[in-house]
Amino acid sequence: MIFLKTEDEIDLLRSANQLVSKTHAELAKVIKPGVTTAQLDKIAEEFIRDHGAIPTFKGFPNPYGGPFPASICASVNDEVVHGIPNDVPLKDGDIVSIDCGTLLNGFCGDSCYTFCVGEVADEIKQLLKVTKESLYKGIEVALVGKRIGDISHAVQAHCEKHGYGVVREFVGHGIGKEMHEDPQVPNYGRPGNGPLLKNGLCLAIEPMITLGSPKIGMMPDRWTIKTLDGKCAAHFEHTIAIHHGKAEILSSFEEIEKIEGKLY
């Protein structure tokens, strides 16, 4: 069932998502070679709780195994999504996708950003650039009267035009009081298909794009998803509200990009 949000509920979603964005900015300050993803997880959890919220990822149930053990997903290089933070230091040239969620005043925030660690190869920077662009291409067509397939097609067309793989097994989603609500938002599809976009619809749009083949596999931890060919993957996510006829982005990359600088 799809729940359309009121003005007050959109305000609460905005606050939860702005907290996610501020958490990402805190992490951007410390991401560098030698830092571990476990250290990043500790910073994120403390920051979220200090601001009166709960990290929604921690303890999130898994149909294939145990609950998620951390407050962020930290997916390095060929890890696509759901990487578990660990004590392995990040290396110069790595990329790390940090997916983060909050529950604040009963509503959820959800956003992901793929960070560069030190000096990253131009080929990988281009993957990040195109993946981030595809997110905004999807958001641009999220207008009242359009359909989910229009968002999906915009993401797919932009990434495949550049020769990248589009992961199909994991998709974006509705968001509200629950982190994952209807409808699903695939990163591939046909224009004019799927649920109708209406004012009050809130969505997490999240392209997961691979440098090579889009084929993926699950690691023995039952959480981490990797590319089968071992090539890098990028993941960017914004939460949006269809508001006054068009998409309002509730999360933000602005502070991250100020800290990171113009990398690509």
User: Residue ranges per domain, the chain?
Assistant: 7-260
Q: In the chain, which stretches have pLDDT less than 50?
A: none
Q: What is the pLDDT of residue 85?
A: 98
* Whether 104 contacts 19, CB under 8 Å: yes
Q: What is the pLDDT of residue 129?
A: 98
Cβ within 8 Å of residue 161, ≥6 positions away? none
Q: How do 72-76 and 79-81 pair as beta strands?
A: unpaired
Instruction: Kindly state the helix (H) or strand (E) to which residue 203 belongs, with its residue range.
Output: strand 202-205
The CA–CA distances, whole Å, from 14 to 104, 106, 211, 225, 229 equal: 10, 12, 32, 29, 38
Which pLDDT score, from 0 to 100, does residue 263 have? 84
pLDDT of residue 88: 98
Q: 3-state class of 5 per DSSP?
A: coil
Q: Tens digits of per-residue pLDDT, 201-227?
A: 999 999 999 999 999 999 999 999 999
7-260 folds as Creatine Amidinohydrolase (3.90.230)
Residue 264 confidence (pLDDT): 78
Rounded Cα distance, 251 and 237, in Å: 9
